[in-house]
Structure 1
């Protein structure tokens, strides 16, 4: 399958799983609406799809949410299989991704540097 089609399928999977999470359709209490899907990588043979999960929550809470998603993977695959109507639906694996948290920390550090330069702490005099 072409790279563009794999990317498009990954985006469709990401959108549908995000809707399930935000709509509270996944009944597992570990799955929080604060979980975000950063990206989905679909293998070339459509056998597997890695779903990268990130959040502003503590890493331990995010990992609990991932465990909840793993236990609901069959339900998620069933819903997605009906909506996307593809012949072979990939097996979903959920992966912890710290990109949102790292980005938030980076912005916080930049803000603190800007504030310190405004107050004159690092002035070149």
Structure 2
């Protein structure tokens, strides 16, 4: 269970990391839009798990690896931005947020189920 302090700090990190990726994201991933979807912070605020979503990329695993290879540099830039708000800058680990992919797959499954249902029961569509 996250404390109010953890949620508040995670919100600050998410906002500042979003600004960093918006301004300097092209350095790490050219022609790719990066969205910070969620930040989870440990109870001691020393470790942050950052969940990212990508647009305009073919290989998300490669994109995550590239961002993780620059984690120290991103942490340094984050530290410069939050130095007056936090005593320590957490260690950053980036993960892929595949919620959008999951939702798209579920939509396909539901569409398939609906089309199969309409094929087997065409009179239901007329009544409904």
Bin for the TM-score computed over the shorter chain: 0.7 to 0.9
TM-score, normalising length: structure 2: 0.73
Q: Which runs of structure 2 are paired with 1:31-46 in the superposition (5 Å)?
A: 32-33=32-33, 35-46=34-45
1:53-109 Cα offsets, whole Å, 9 max, x none, are 234667x71111111211221221122212223111110011233222101211233
Match of 2:92 in 1: 92
Asked if structure 2 preserves the Cα contact closer than 8 Å seen for 1:31 and 1:69, the reply is no
**TM (normalized to structure 1)?**
0.75
Q: Give distance in 2, aligned partners of 1:107 and 1:13.
A: 32
2:126 maps to none
1:47 aligned to 2:46? Answer: yes
In structure 2, the residue matched to 1:18 is: 18
Which stretches in structure 1 are left out of the alignment for 5+ residues?
none
Question: Are residues 25 and 53 of structure 1, via their aligned partners in 2, closer, same or farther at CA, if it must alter by over 3 Å?
Answer: closer
Q: In structure 2, the residue corresponding to 1:88 is in which secondary structure? A: coil
Please identify the structure whose Cα radius of gyration is greater.
Answer: 2
What CA distance in whole angstroms lies between the structure 2 residues aligned with 1:37 and 1:9?
15
| Root mean square deviation, CA, Å | 2.8
Query: What is the DSSP-based 3-state SS (H/G/I as helix, E as strand, rest coil) of the residue aligned with 2:119?
Result: coil
CA distance in 2, matches of 1:55, 1:29: 10
Cα contact 2:49–2:92 (8 A) shared by 1: yes
Say how many residue pairs are matched.
120
Structure 2 gap segments, 5+ residues each: 124-128
1:122 to 2:91 alignment? no
